[in-house]
Amino acid sequence: MFLAKFFTQRSLTPSYGILNVSRTLQHKTSTRKSTEAHPPLNLKPKFDPIQFENSLKPYAEQVTVENQYEKLSNLILPLSNHSYEEQLKIKYDIVEQSFDQIGRAILWDKRVDNQVLKYVEFQEGPFCHVEPIIPSLNIEQYRCKDELSCGYGVDGQKTLGFYINPKNSKNFPNTLCVSPIHLKSMKSKHILAVKHFDQFLKQHALPVCENTSVLKKDQYWRSIILRSNEQNDLMMTVVVHPQSLSKNEIDQVKKDLLNYFIDGSGRECEINSIYFQACANNRCASEENPFELIYGDEFIYEIYNEKKFRISPESFVQANKKAAELIYELTLKHAQIDENTIVLDIGSGIGVHSVMASTSAKKVYAIDPLALCIEDGKFNAKLNNCRDNIEWICGFSEIHLHRILKKLGDLHGNHSRIVAIVNSSRYSLSNRITTVLRSISAIQRIVYVSCKSDEQTMHNFYELAAAERSKLKKATSPFIPTSVYPIDLLPHTIHAEVVVNCVRV
């Protein structure tokens, strides 16, 4: 089977999503006879992904005080030694190979809808056509958000940075932490804040956590999140494991932070906001453990496509502001919104798509699982004087979202034109959700925005295009990804954001 040949090669994504989704789909494939609609079977990879991936892996036993920054750069920014033109070519090949494989899986599966085959037969060019990649306007110092961990460095000292996992746990029982101050992607203001927080950790009495997954007794400092805008306003969120600290002891930790960053040498960072969170789990949402503002402004603000948005400690924002504006512009362009269009913004975040779509749409439904994001979205709608045509819905679970979409279908019927904007980085779609998206016949277009090619994401495209089966009897005509628009969101990495135009056939 040719699928085995293509799917046994790992994709150049961190999660190796194509390999995983291929395992999910392989058992469903059949020996459907080849037709002209099928892509050619003799395509070869543009490069050897396994060899490329292995050349980039810096394991802990290779890390020394002298080479630690180089090893971290190879891990975080694996394409930093390539010219930018070469980077774009590699990313384009990754995206093209990914959608070539999902296209093959769709066309060769026994559940493929006959309408899909008929559509592809009359198309010129390849199925799942990938457009030229759009370059980033900024290729250095572009990150407006950095999430950093507290740990122990190669020298055994407390360090703020990124983890490098050990290959041999006997020789290296603790995960190593390496400072990111030499990464090309970090803003200079973030680097300054990292240097000062690293100094603060070294002089503070409380120990740091040794790794992200195993929390031991008497380990406190966990992570910080740095957010900034184009005006260089800086928000810092500090996460600490409370362990058995009393309220007075936790209050003293907060005072220590303020003494250093507001009254001490850390004031050089000019931080606008400092938030504090005591979190005993791997990650805590604000509903469980609220973020406490211990200094400065409650929010910072950013301008996207000439509209102003507030950003809170839990807001989802793209790491590259200039590239994000290209993504928003491209998404709305292919949504083709007019005065008769109803927009479903699934995974709305702080409401950028909803606010921009409300200008021309008949109605917008903004759906997000986080209450804080919904609050931000409502505020941003008022801040931009939006029309009163956005309904904000907090959906915490797959079942909740399923009911919402069914209700919208019943409310607007089959005579309205509905466009779904799906941000899979915010809300992964299950089979149940893709089923209900298909069951609402008024939805004629899905604009799928994704920064990853993991198993769930690629399986979404498969389920949107697959034919009916016993548990999908209510599914109507399928959706297929007709065109893919990659944007270089994170230069020097292997990641590319994609805007996928899915139409009903």
Q: Are residues 165 and 297 in the same domain?
A: yes
- The answer on 163 and 116 residing in a single domain is no
Structure-token match 């990914």, residue found:
98
The reported pLDDT for the residue numbered 477 is 80
Same domain, 154 and 265: yes
Instruction: Provide the pLDDT confidence category of residue 352 given band limits of 50, 70 and 90.
Output: very high
Q: Are 342 and 389 in contact (CB under 8 A)?
A: no
User: Could you give phi then psi for residue 235, rounded to 5 degrees?
Assistant: -115, 130
User: Are 100 and 149 members of one domain?
Assistant: no
504 domain residue, yes or no: no
Please tell me the predicted confidence (pLDDT) of residue 19.
Answer: 36
Residues 114 and 161 in one domain: no
Question: Most distant CA pair in the chain: distance in Å?
Answer: 74
Residue 134 has pLDDT above 60, yes or no: yes
Tokens at 369, concatenated: 């699982």
pLDDT of 4 strictly over 80: no
Average pLDDT over residues 6-28: 36
Distances (CA, A) of 163 to 135, 190, 209, 300, 495: 29, 18, 11, 28, 19
Kindly tell me the burial class for residue 355, based on how many C-beta atoms sit within 10 Å of its own C-beta (0-12, 13-18, 19 or more). Answer: buried
Binding positions = 318, 368, 423
Q: How far is 107 from 116, CA to CA, in rounded Å?
A: 8
Q: Are residues 298 and 170 in the same domain?
A: yes
Residue type, position 321, single letter: K
Residue 471: the pLDDT is 47
Instruction: Report the number of distinct structural domains present in the chain.
Output: 2
Same domain, 152 and 283: yes
Q: What is the pLDDT of residues 385-427, one digit of tens each?
A: 999 999 998 876 666 777 777 777 677 766 678 899 998 776 6
Of 303, 328, 362, at which residue does a domain stop?
303
pLDDT of residue 290: 87
Q: Using alpha carbons, select from 3, 126, 134, 132 the residue that is nearest to residue 480.
A: 126
Q: Which of 87, 105, 130 is the last residue of a domain?
A: 130
Least confident of 11-20, 160-169, 223-232, 397-406: 11-20
Among 159-163, 188-192, 279-283, where is mean pLDDT lowest? Answer: 279-283
d(CA 107, CA 34): 10
Active-site residue numbers? 451
% of the chain at pLDDT higher than 70: 77
Q: For the chain, what is the radius of gyration of the CA atoms?
A: 24
Residue 409 lies in a domain: no
- Phi, psi (degrees; rounded to nearest 5) at 144: -100, 0
97-101, 138-142, 256-260, 401-405 — which is least confidently predicted?
401-405
Under the banding of pLDDT at 50, 70 and 90, the label for residue 370 is confident
CA 317, 464, 444: angle at the middle one, nearest 5? Answer: 80
Same-domain pairing of 191 and 71: no
Report the pLDDT averaged over residues 243-268. Answer: 95
Residue that is last in its domain, among 284, 303, 322? 303
- Taking residue 379's Cβ as centre, other Cβ atoms within 10 Å add up to 16
- Quick check: is 180 in a domain? yes
Better-scored residue on pLDDT, 109 or 261 = 261
d(Cα 327, Cα 314) in Å, to the nearest integer? 21
Which residues, in sequence order, are CB contacts of 305 under 8 Å at separation 6+? 325, 328, 329, 356
Q: Helix, strand, coil: what percent of the chain each, to 5?
A: 35, 25, 45
β-partners of residue 112 are 466
Query: In which band, very low, low, confident or very high, does the pLDDT at 122 lie, cut at 50, 70 and 90?
Result: low
Please report, for the domain that includes residue 151, its CATH number: 2.40.50.1070
User: What is the token pair recorded at 189?
Assistant: 């203001």
* Confidence label for 18 from pLDDT (cuts 50, 70 and 90): very low
Residue 194 counted as domain residue: yes
Annotation: binding site for S-adenosyl-L-methionine = 318, 368, 423
User: Are residues 161 and 218 both part of a single domain?
Assistant: yes
Is the pLDDT reported for residue 83 higher than 60? yes
Q: Are residues 91 and 155 in the same domain?
A: no
DSSP 3: H
What is the C-alpha end-to-end distance of the chain, expressed in Å? 28
Give me the residue label for tokens 């390999």. Answer: 19
CA distances (Å), 155 to each of 58, 218, 256, 492, in order? 17, 21, 25, 28
pLDDT one-digit tens code per residue, 33-62: 333 344 443 443 444 444 554 554 555 567
Question: Residues with Cβ < 8 Å from 13, sequence gap 6 or more?
Answer: 94, 98, 452, 453, 454, 494, 495
pLDDT attached to residue 59: 54
* Token pair belonging to 123: 């198309």
DSSP, residue by residue, 422-438: EETTT----HHHHHHHH
pLDDT for 195 beyond 60: yes
Q: Which domain holds residue 280?
A: 145-303
Q: What is the 3-state secondary structure (H, E, C) of 454-478?
A: CHHHHHHHHHHHECCCHHHCCCCCC
Residue 473 confidence (pLDDT): 52
In this structure, is residue 208 part of a structural domain? yes
Q: Rounded to the nearest 10 degrees, how much is the dihedral formed by the CA atoms of 253, 258, 261, 264?
A: -100
Does 63 fall in a domain? yes
Rounded average pLDDT over 256-264: 96
Alpha-carbon span 251 to 260, nearest angstrom: 15
Most confident of 158-167, 399-408, 426-435: 158-167
Query: Angle between the 398-412 and 431-439 helix axes, to the nearest 10 degrees?
Result: 0
Specify if 221 maps to a domain. yes
Distance CA 55, CA 47 (A): 13
**pTM for the full model?**
0.82
**Per-residue confidence at 113, pLDDT binned at 50, 70, 90?**
low
154/297 same-domain check: yes
Report the interhelical angle of 247-261 vs 188-203 (nearest 10°).
Answer: 130
- Sort strands 417-423 and 497-504 into parallel, antiparallel or unpaired: unpaired
**For residue 51, is it within any domain?**
yes
Is residue 299 domain-shared with residue 155, that is, in the same domain?
yes
